[in-house]
Amino acid sequence: MNHWIIVPVLLPLVAGALLLVLQGSGLAAKRAVSIAATTALVPVAMGLMAIAATGEQQIYYLGDWPAPFGIVLVLDRLSALMLALCSVLASASLLYALGGDDTKGAEFHALFQFQLLGINGAFLTGDLFNLFVFFEILLIASYCLIAHGGGRARIRAAMHFVVLNLVGSSVFLIALGVIYGTLGSLNMADLALKVAAVDADSLGLVRVAGLLLLVVFGLKAALLPLGFWLPPAYRSATAAVACLFAIMTKVGVYAIIRVHTLIFIDPSDGGFSLDAWLLPLALATIVAGTIGALAASELRATVSYLVVVSVGTLLAAVGLFSRDGLAAALYYLVHSTLVVGGLFLLADLIGRQRGEVGARLDRSRSVYQPALLGTLFFFAAVAVSGLPPLSGFAAKVSILQAAQTSAAAAWVWGIMLTSGLFVIVTMSRAGTAIFWRTEDTQGEPRPVRGIEALSTCGLLAGALLLMVFGRQAFDYAQATAEQLLHPSGYIEAVLANESVSTPASMRE
Amino acid sequence: MEALFSIVIGILVACGVYLVLRARTFPVVLGLTLISYGVNVFLFASGGLVIGSAPLALPEVLIHPDPLPQALVLTAIVIGFGMTAYTIVLALKAYGELQSDHVDGEAQG
Question: Distance from CA of residue A330 to its chain's centroid?
Answer: 11
Contact across the interface for A162 and B104, Cβ inside 8 Å? no
Segment among A163-167, A222-226, A373-377, B62-66 with least mean pLDDT? B62-66
- What was the ipTM of the complex prediction? 0.93
Confidence label for B65 from pLDDT (cuts 50, 70 and 90): confident
What is the Cα–Cα distance from A442 to B18, expressed in whole angstroms?
53
Mean pLDDT calculated for residue range A410-422: 94
- Asked whether A481 and A330 are in contact (CB, 8 A), the reply is yes
Does any CB of chain A come closer than 8 Å to the CB of residue B104? yes
Asked if A181's CB is within 8 angstroms of B105's CB, the reply is no
Average pLDDT over every residue of A446-452: 86
Contact B93 A170 (CB under 8 A): no
The answer to whether the Cα torsion of A239, A240, A246, A249 is positive or negative is negative
pLDDT of A296-325, one tens digit each?
A: 989 999 999 999 999 999 999 988 888 899
| pLDDT category of residue A500 using cuts at 50, 70 and 90 | low
HEC profile of A85-146? HHHHHHHHHHHHHCCCHHHCCCCHHHHHHHHHHHHHHHHHECEHHHHHHHHHHHHHHHHHHH
Average pLDDT over residues B57-76: 81
* Dist CA A353 CA A376 (whole Å): 15
What pLDDT does residue A68 have? 84
What's the whole-number average pLDDT of chain A? 89
- Paired residues of A372 in beta bridges: none
Closest alpha carbon to A111 in A249, A237, A19, A38:
A19
| Contact at CB, A163 and B105, closer than 8 angstroms | no
Confidence at residue A268, expressed as pLDDT on a 0 to 100 scale: 45
User: 3-class SS at A360?
Assistant: strand
Contact B98 A152 (CB under 8 A): yes
Separation of alpha carbons A74 and A87, rounded Å: 18
CB nearest to B93's CB, from A155, A163, A177: A155
Where are chain A's structural domains?
A: 275-468
A345: helix, strand or coil: helix
The residues, any chain, with a CB within 8 Å of residue A458's CB and separated by 6 or more, are A92, A95, A342
pLDDT of A142 strictly over 80: yes
Cα separation of B10 and A25, whole Å?
A: 51
Pairwise CA distance, residues B43 & B46, whole Å = 5
**Rounded Cα distance, A171 and A297, in Å:** 35
Nearest chain B Cα to A134, which residue?
B79
pTM of the predicted structure, to 2 decimals: 0.93
Instruction: Kindly list the residues from chain B whose CB atom is less than 8 angstroms away from the CB atom of residue A158.
Output: 90, 94
Could you say which DSSP state residue A39 is in? H
What is the rounded distance in angstroms from the CA atom of residue A387 to the CA atom of residue A400? 14
Q: Which of A133, A177, A180 sits opposite B75 (nearest CB)?
A: A133
pLDDT score recorded for residue A275? 63
Q: Where are the domains of chain B?
A: 2-98
Where is pLDDT greater, at A441 or A199?
Answer: A199
- Within A374-422, strands assigned E span none
Residue B30 has phi, psi (to 5 degrees) of -60, -40
Give the nearest partner residue to A181 out of B36, B46, B76, using CB atoms: B46
What angle, rounded to 10 degrees, do the helices at A299-318 and A391-403 form?
40
Burial class (CB in 10 A: 0-12, 13-18, 19+), A174: buried
Q: Is B79 on the interface with A (CB under 8 A)?
A: yes
Average pLDDT over residues B51-62: 73
Determine, for residues A180 and B69 on separate chains, whether the beta-carbon distance falls below 8 Å. Answer: yes
**What average pLDDT does the segment A219-226 reach?**
90
| Helix A274-295 × helix A409-431 angle, to 10° | 20
The per-residue pLDDT for A319 is 87
Does A508 have pLDDT greater than 50?
no
Residue B107 has pLDDT above 70, yes or no: no
Q: What is the pLDDT of residue A196?
A: 84
Interface test with B, best of A163, A205, A212, A216 (most B CBs within 10 A): A163
Distance from CA of B52 to the nearest CA of A (A): 20
* A270, pLDDT greater than 50: no
Helices and strands in chain A, H and E counts: 21, 2
Burial of A472 (0-12, 13-18, 19+ CB in 10 A): exposed
- pLDDT band for position A266 (cuts 50, 70, 90): low
Q: What percent of chain A has pLDDT over 70?
A: 96
Please give the residue of chain A at the shortest CA–CA distance from B75: A133
- Angle, helices A152-183 vs B25-45, to 10°: value is 20
- Asked if B90 and A173 come within 8 Å (Cβ–Cβ), the reply is no
Per-residue confidence at A343, pLDDT binned at 50, 70, 90? very high
